[in-house]
Chain A
Amino acid sequence: MTQQVTQGHVCIDDLSITFDVRGGSMVALEPTSLELAPGSFTALIGPSGCGKSTLMNAVAGFVPATTGRITIDGTPINGPSDKVGVIFQQYALFPWFTALDNVRFGLKRLKLSKSEEIDRARAAIAEVGLEKHAQKYPQELSGGMKQRVAIARTFAFGPQVMLMDEPFGALDAQTRLVMHDLLLGIWEKHKATVLFVTHDVDEALILTDDIQLMSSGPGRIIKHYPLTEPRPRKLNRDNIHLLETRDEIIALLHPSH
């Protein structure tokens, strides 16, 4: 049923990132290696300031590697790549464009004809269930709807790798559940490799194939939890393994509890 995904292979090799700050430098990420299999869904979880967003920004090409390197399907990352789409916590929609035009903006790189571009943008908007809101401006949409537009904008151009930086962090719990279903549906259809930064343990357990746990000071990956439970998942007694994993991660994140 599932076709083999061959593209979107992310290799992070001894990557470390140091920022220049006033009067010296600050290590944001200790040397870290991580491999994301094509089509896999990985959560990067950890306390704030542990470097998880820095790691994601490096894969996005926003932040240069201090040492080590990142490759996607063998090509080194030295800046934003055609293969990579990014979803931001603050949506990053352009308020001067309608929802449809925001999606069209992301399709410009494909150099389609105008009608093809509009058709494809409409299809992407419909895929996230917003066909009735295509002509609205972002400020007329709720938080959840804005993030749907951002998801449509990013998936529409067909990235092989999808980076999501706490994409549902600003949404209420109810909306977040709806967005989880929506995201899983779209991911199963497009089969991109997803790197999902969050600090919500439950979200990571419900969505992903792998949880990479990070610690702060210095930022590095300390533990890997592969998850094999079939989706859709629920955090209840039928999934004892998930509940145990959750307890363990929470204990590691908050050692005092």
Chain B
Amino acid sequence: MAQSPHFLWRVARQSGAVVSILFVLLIWTLFSALNIVPQAILPSPASVWSATVEMARNGTLALDLRASLSRAVIGFAIGTSLGVLVGLLTGRLVLMQVLLAPALTLLRPIPAIALVPLAIVWFGIGEGSKYFVISYTVFLTVWFNTHHGMQYVPDIYLRASRSLGVSRVREFLTVIIPAAAPYILAGIRLGVALAFLSLVAAELSGASSGIGYRLQEARQYIRTDRMFSLLIILGILGAVTDVIVQRIGQRLVHWQQG
């Protein structure tokens, strides 16, 4: 009897997100059952579920997921490759650092959504403007982390590699990049989160499919049940990709503990 609360506590701790999600669902269900707030403002979990099933049945869910995911993936890929590349350059070459680092730092506070009008003028309302907005956001974050990771390469690694007489190219590839890898991966992980954050902003630049577009459409019809469904899907997508990237990162940077 005495160990019962302790036992429950342990189960709760080990269950990860499940207990937390059940708890929030419970509060939500109770709240909507009390009918304090109209259904149109706060839909019940059941109606959100049926809205999800409805979107899945009529095919819009698959269409939107495909559109949004391909935008996020392509924007992320462009932003990450450029971010790592430029970060490696500005991190090691003083000239590149002097020419680029201050300017890129000034761009960082500009939010993705503020770029949408410019993206439309530059790239039109097609896919190009979406890729631009997403890759811009991802690029700056991945660049920033890579650039700073390169500054923190421990001096003793460089001294060891110099005293062992390896070429500068080998030193760059097999000492500096691995030493900076934990920072680069932290940047990439942030980049994944930002790809989803800027996705919705990007789809404001005129789209005919995508989760961000569907949210806008739901607003016009005051379909809060659909909005809830889409927002939850967006959250799940972000969380799942974050876990995947984290797992891959742990494999790649296997020497980094904790």
Contacts of A92 in B (CB 8 A): 156-157, 159-160
For B, the interface residue count at a CB cutoff of 8 angstroms equals 21
Q: State the Cβ distance, A90 to closest chain B Cβ, in Å.
A: 6
Given A94-B175, A105-B174, A80 contacting B162 (CB threshold 8 A): yes
- Segment at the A interface, from B19-27, B163-171, B229-237: B163-171
Q: State the Cβ distance, B17 to closest chain A Cβ, in Å.
A: 30
Q: Are B178 and A94 in contact (CB under 8 A)?
A: yes
What's the Cα separation between A96 and B254 when bound, in Å?
Answer: 8
Question: Which A residues from 131 to 163 make CB contacts under 8 A with B?
Answer: 137-139, 153-154, 157
B257 at the interface (CB under 8 A from A): yes
Contacts of B161 in A (CB 8 A): 105
B221 at the interface (CB under 8 A from A): no
B9 at the interface (CB under 8 A from A): no
Which of A62, A105, A109, A157 has a CB less than 8 Å from the CB of B159?
A62
- Segment at the B interface, from A30-38, A81-89, A222-230: A81-89
A17 at the interface (CB under 8 A from B): no
Q: Are A106 and B255 in contact (CB under 8 A)?
A: no
Q: Are B174 and A86 in contact (CB under 8 A)?
A: no
Question: Which B residues from 171 to 202 make CB contacts under 8 A with A?
Answer: 174-175, 178, 181
Given A92-B156, A92-B157, A86 contacting B163 (CB threshold 8 A): yes
Q: Are B164 and A109 in contact (CB under 8 A)?
A: yes
What's the Cα separation between A93 and B100 when bound, in Å?
Answer: 33
A140 closest partner in B (C-beta): B255
What's the Cα separation between A244 and B97 when bound, in Å?
Answer: 58
Give the one of B161, B167, B253 with max A CB within 10 A: B161
Given A105-B174, A137-B255, A139-B255, A86 contacting B165 (CB threshold 8 A): no
Contacts of A139 in B (CB 8 A): 255, 257
A76 at the interface (CB under 8 A from B): no
Q: Are B166 and A108 in contact (CB under 8 A)?
A: yes
Question: Which B residues from 57 to 74 make CB contacts under 8 A with A?
Answer: none
A179 at the interface (CB under 8 A from B): no
What's the Cα separation between A217 and B166 when bound, in Å?
Answer: 37
Question: Which A residues from 210 to 248 make CB contacts under 8 A with B?
Answer: none
Mark contacts of A99-110 with chain B using CB atoms, 8 A cut-off: 1 yes-contact digit, 0 otherwise.
000000110110
Given A88-B156, A94-B178, A157 contacting B164 (CB threshold 8 A): yes
Which of B163, B166, B174, B255 has a CB less than 8 Å from the CB of A85?
B163
A185 at the interface (CB under 8 A from B): no
Give the one of B164, B175, B257 with max A CB within 10 A: B164
A95 at the interface (CB under 8 A from B): yes
What's the Cα separation between A137 and B257 when bound, in Å?
Answer: 13
Contacts of B165 in A (CB 8 A): 80, 82, 108-109, 157
Q: State the Cβ distance, A64 to closest chain B Cβ, in Å.
A: 13
Q: State the Cβ distance, B194 to closest chain A Cβ, in Å.
A: 27
Q: State the Cβ distance, B64 to closest chain A Cβ, in Å.
A: 41
What's the Cα separation between A153 and B165 when bound, in Å?
Answer: 12
Contacts of B163 in A (CB 8 A): 60-62, 80, 84-86, 154
Contacts of B160 in A (CB 8 A): 86, 88, 92, 94
What's the Cα separation between A109 and B161 when bound, in Å?
Answer: 11
Mark contacts of B221-258 with chain A using CB atoms, 8 A cut-off: 1 yes-contact digit, 0 otherwise.
00000000000000000000000000000000111110
Given A95-B255, A105-B174, A60 contacting B159 (CB threshold 8 A): yes
Contacts of B170 in A (CB 8 A): 108
Q: State the Cβ distance, A61 to closest chain B Cβ, in Å.
A: 8
A163 closest partner in B (C-beta): B163
What's the Cα separation between A49 and B179 when bound, in Å?
Answer: 29
What's the Cα separation between A96 and B161 when bound, in Å?
Answer: 14
Q: Are B166 and A90 in contact (CB under 8 A)?
A: no
Contacts of B178 in A (CB 8 A): 94, 96
Q: What are 23 residue pairs bridging A and B, where the CB atoms are less than 8 Å apart in the complex?
A: A60-B159, A60-B163, A61-B162, A80-B162, A82-B165, A84-B163, A85-B163, A90-B156, A92-B160, A94-B157, A94-B160, A94-B174, A94-B178, A95-B255, A96-B181, A96-B253, A105-B161, A108-B164, A108-B165, A108-B170, A109-B166, A139-B257, A157-B164
In the A-B complex, the 8 residue pairs with the smallest Cβ-Cβ separation, listed nearest first, are: A95-B255, A92-B160, A109-B165, A86-B163, A96-B178, A106-B164, A80-B162, A92-B156
Q: Which residues of A contact B (CB under 8 A)?
A: 60-62, 79-80, 82, 84-86, 88, 90, 92, 94-97, 105-106, 108-109, 137-139, 153-154, 157
| 4 extra A-B contacts, CB within 8 A, seeds A86-B159, A96-B181, A137-B254 | A61-B162, A80-B165, A95-B255, A157-B164
